[in-house]
């Protein structure tokens, strides 16, 4: 008894070893055609990149804990340097996405009005 047959009988799985022919008739195949695959560990570069980015961010935060005075227009505050930099980066990305959204919307209107 093969490993697949053993697995199927224990878990009440029915496996058909036939395929449909052009007229709908079952055509038998030689051999089982099924193989149990060994688990393979593959590197997911997206996850690897996220882990590297998280480690770099953690190192950045730990190295930039000094308080910094922040003055903007009529707003004065003290905050850790890493907070100032991260907030600035997030606001920069948000502003660039807003500008891109408005630009695309205007371009679509111009194309539609032609």
Stretch 72-96: mean pLDDT, rounded? 90
- Mean pLDDT check: name the lowest of 8-12, 62-66, 76-80: 8-12
Handedness of CA 89, 91, 96, 100 (dihedral sign): positive
65's tokens: 């804990």
Domain coordinates in residue numbering, the chain: 45-113
Question: What pLDDT shows up at residue 20?
Answer: 53
Q: Where are the beta strands (DSSP E) in 4-92?
A: 18-20, 26-28, 67-72, 75-80
pLDDT digits (tens, 9 = 90+) for 40-66: 677 788 888 989 988 998 898 889 889
| Residue 32 neighbours by CB under 8 Å, 6+ apart | 2, 4, 17
């Amino acid at each position: 008894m093969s490993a697949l047959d053993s697995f199927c009988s224990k878990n009440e799985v029915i496996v058909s070893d036939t395929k449909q022919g052009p007229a709908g008739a079952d055509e038998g195949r030689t051999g089982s055609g099924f193989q149990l695959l060994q688990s393979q560990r593959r590197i997911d570069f997206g996850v690897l990149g996220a882990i590297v980015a998280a480690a770099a961010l953690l190192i950045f935060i730990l190295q930039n804990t000094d308080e910094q005075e922040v003055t903007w227009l009529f707003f004065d505050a003290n905050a850790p340097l890493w907070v100032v930099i991260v907030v600035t980066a997030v606001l920069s990305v948000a502003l660039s996405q807003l500008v891109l959204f408005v630009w695309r919307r205007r371009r679509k209107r111009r194309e539609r009005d032609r």
